Structure 1
Amino acid sequence: MAKKRKVVDAKRDKNGNITDVLLEGNKNFTSTEKALGMTKSGLIDLVVVKRKDKEHLRTRPDGKKGNNLDEMADD
């Protein structure tokens, strides 16, 4: 199986929600909607978390704060 792609950056909207992620080796950001499907297919090294009726993407828990999507999206 191919190595899962890593997320190296993220963008958020004016409400603070993560909207896009940048995959290692890419120049353009990928929407979180597309990244969600790619994660479910095992292509991206993220975790899908279901809360109420919505699914979210998260980085794998490793005790490091700097590689969390919210931290990557800081201005």
Structure 2
Amino acid sequence: MTKQIIAARKNSKGNITKVRFKGNSTFTSLETAIKMAKRGQIENTHSVKAKNKSPHIRTNPDKSKTNNLDELAK
């Protein structure tokens, strides 16, 4: 069963640090969410590891900007 991200939080640098899943009242750390994305447990999301950068998660490309993590953190 996959989970849906419905909210996110950023740090002072503008980086996503936590996400909240539908049905949860608390936020989950980004580290945990990255592991879940790698296992395919988060819908519409995948894990990314760019060269010389920390791993992060991204929503799958589509025509909607409202489901992007940056938008969910506003």
**Unaligned runs of at least 5 residues, structure 2:** none
TM-score with structure 2 length normalisation? 0.89
RMSD: 1.0
Number of aligned residue pairs? 72
Deviation at 1:56, TM superposition (A): 1.1
Moved over 4 A (4+): none
3-state SS, counterpart of residue 43 of structure 1: coil
- The one-letter code matched in structure 2 to 1:50 is K
How far apart, in 2, do the equivalents of 1:52 and 1:31 lie?
22
Matched, 1:18 2:16: yes
TM-score with structure 1 length normalisation? 0.88
Identity of aligned residues (%): 44
Relative to structure 2, which stretch is displaced further, 58-67 or 8-17? 58-67
Deviation at 1:39, TM superposition (A): 1.1
Deviation at 1:55, TM superposition (A): 1.3
Deviation at 1:51, TM superposition (A): 1.1
Partner in structure 2 of residue 69 of structure 1: 69
1:1-75 to structure 2, matched below 5 A, reads 2=1, 4-45=2-43, 46-53=45-52, 54-74=54-74
How far apart, in 2, do the equivalents of 1:51 and 1:23 lie?
25
